[in-house]
Amino acid sequence: MKHLFLSPHFDDAVLSCGATIQQLVASGESVEVRTIMAGLPHSLPDTAIVRDLHDRWQEGGNPVRARIEEDKLAVERLGAVCTRFSFWLDCIYRVTRSGKVLYPDGESIFGEINPEDVAAQLLPTVVLEANEIPNHIYAPLGAGHHVDHQIVRNWAITLKQYMPWVALKFYEEYPYTQDPHAVERAMIYFTENYPRLHLQQEIVPVNEAAVKVKLEAIACYKTQISSFWPDLQTMEAATRQSLIEAGNGVSAERYWVVSLD
Residue 1 identity (one-letter amino acid): M
Residue 70 identity (one-letter amino acid): E
Q: Average pLDDT in the 122-140 region? A: 94
Residue 31 has a pLDDT of 98
Q: CA 130 to CA 109: how far, in whole Å?
A: 34
Report the predicted TM-score, pTM, of the whole model to 2 decimal places: 0.96
Reported as a pLDDT band with limits 50, 70 and 90, residue 226 is confident
Helix (H), strand (E) at residue 211: helix 208-219
Q: Does residue 88 register a pLDDT over 80?
A: yes
Q: CA 222 to CA 218: how far, in whole Å?
A: 8
The predicted-structure confidence for 45-54, as pLDDT tens digits, reads as follows: 889 888 888 8
Residue 42 has a pLDDT of 86
CATH label of the domain that carries residue 9: 3.40.50.10320
Distances (CA, A) of 75 to 14, 215, 217: 7, 12, 7
The predicted-structure confidence for 243-260, as pLDDT tens digits, reads as follows: 999 999 999 999 999 998
- The SS3 of residue 37 is coil
For the chain, the domain total comes to 1
Domain of residue 58, residue span = 2-260
Phi, psi of 259 (to 5 degrees): -130, 150
Q: Which residues contact 160 (CB under 8 A, 6 or more apart)?
A: 137, 166, 168, 258, 260
